[in-house]
């Protein structure tokens, strides 16, 4: 555990540093609030033990600054004060302090506060990991481990806004497994699930690291291809289509006797700045064209006129 001690009184600072180090924790120190704030931003200690009255930011201001900048982490704040009135204690807590210790500093008292701080910060770290995992799960398709439609909507909005601002291009590719209902009917849903996982793995293997790959729903997958014009996107998706056909997954409901996909591509360009919703519709229209054209093929959206 990393502890930042802040005090402009040399004697009090020396005692606090000794307690921290004897307790087995890493210690940072500062003699004023401004220097403490710089150290906090650079090293992100789990615990801050700060004097109330000191040059630069005072203890209350430092506590408020730390609390206002917190996101997924939590810093345990101990306020050192010569003031012991209830109003002063409440003012410190309102500023974000978790606990307070009156001066002159008693080493035993500070050591007990550090034990509490370790437990609290450990609990917050564990909760933070749980939150991150829940956030990941909420944006991940459980079958294929690809990102899901929630993550797609977030990523597509970011990319679309960036493309509008900087005039860059990108393409979408909506892919659909051909005759998938008959695959499930003939081989069963467990086999269908395995086939979808194999398709997802192939999409990942044959895509660029910068591409986004999403389970769009059922047997549909969507690719976001940053920086790709229609021709480049079509070549990339054709490579994926060919790779999935080469898996040679038996599919007796498909005239080719193996699992295949069809795909539709739409492209955002400087002269075709439609909304992301319209772009998704265009990819869907292009997919319909690929299906109507015989399946196991890639089609790009063609604008009228």
Strand order in the sheet with 212-217: 212-217, 220-226, 170-177, 261-268, 298-300
| 219 flagged as catalytic | yes
Instruction: For residue 12, count CB atoms less than 10 angstroms from its CB and return exposed for 0-12, middle for 13-18, buried for 19 or more.
Output: middle
Classify 296 as helix, strand or coil. coil
Residues 175 and 239 sit within 8 Å (Cβ to Cβ): no
Beta strands 47-51; 76-81: pairing state: parallel
- Hey, CA dihedral for 87, 88, 91, 96, is it positive or negative? negative
Residues 101 and 109 sit within 8 Å (Cβ to Cβ): yes
Report how far residue 265's alpha carbon sits from residue 298's, in angstroms, rounded to the nearest whole number: 8
Active-site residue (options: 42, 70, 157, 219): 219
Catalytic positions, please?
Answer: 219
């Amino acid at each position: 555990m990393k502890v930042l001690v802040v005090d402009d009184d040399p004697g009090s600072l020396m005692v606090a540093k000794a307690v921290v180090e004897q307790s087995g924790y890493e210690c940072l120190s500062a003699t004023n609030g401004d220097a403490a704030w710089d150290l906090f931003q650079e090293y992100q200690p789990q615990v801050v033990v700060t004097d109330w009255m000191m040059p630069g930011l005072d203890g209350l201001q430092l506590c408020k600054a730390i609390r206002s900048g917190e996101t997924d982490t939590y810093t345990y704040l101990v306020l050192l004060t010569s003031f012991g009135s209830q109003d002063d204690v409440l003012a410190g807590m309102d500023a974000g302090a978790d606990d307070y210790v009156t001066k002159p500093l008693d080493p035993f008292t500070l050591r007990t506060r550090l034990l509490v701080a370790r437990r609290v910060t450990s609990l917050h770290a564990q909760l933070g990991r749980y939150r991150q995992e829940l956030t990941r799960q909420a944006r991940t398709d459980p079958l294929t481990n690809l990102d899901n439609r929630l993550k797609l909507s977030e990523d597509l909005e970011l990319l679309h806004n960036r493309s509008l601002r900087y005039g860059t291009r990108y393409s979408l590719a909506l892919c659909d497994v051909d005759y998938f209902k008959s695959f499930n009917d003939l081989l069963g849903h467990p086999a269908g699930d395995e086939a979808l996982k194999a398709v997802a793995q192939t999409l990942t293997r044959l895509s660029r690291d910068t591409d986004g790959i999403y389970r769009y729903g059922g047997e549909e997958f969507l690719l976001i291809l940053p920086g790709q014009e229609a021709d480049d996107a079509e070549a990339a998706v054709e490579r994926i289509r060919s790779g999935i056909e080469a898996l040679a997954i038996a599919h007796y409901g498909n005239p080719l006797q193996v699992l295949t996909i069809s795909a539709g591509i739409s492209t955002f360009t400087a002269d075709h700045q439609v909304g992301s919703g319209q772009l998704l519709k265009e990819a869907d229209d292009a997919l319909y064209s690929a299906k109507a054209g015989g399946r196991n093929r890639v089609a790009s959206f063609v604008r009228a006129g």
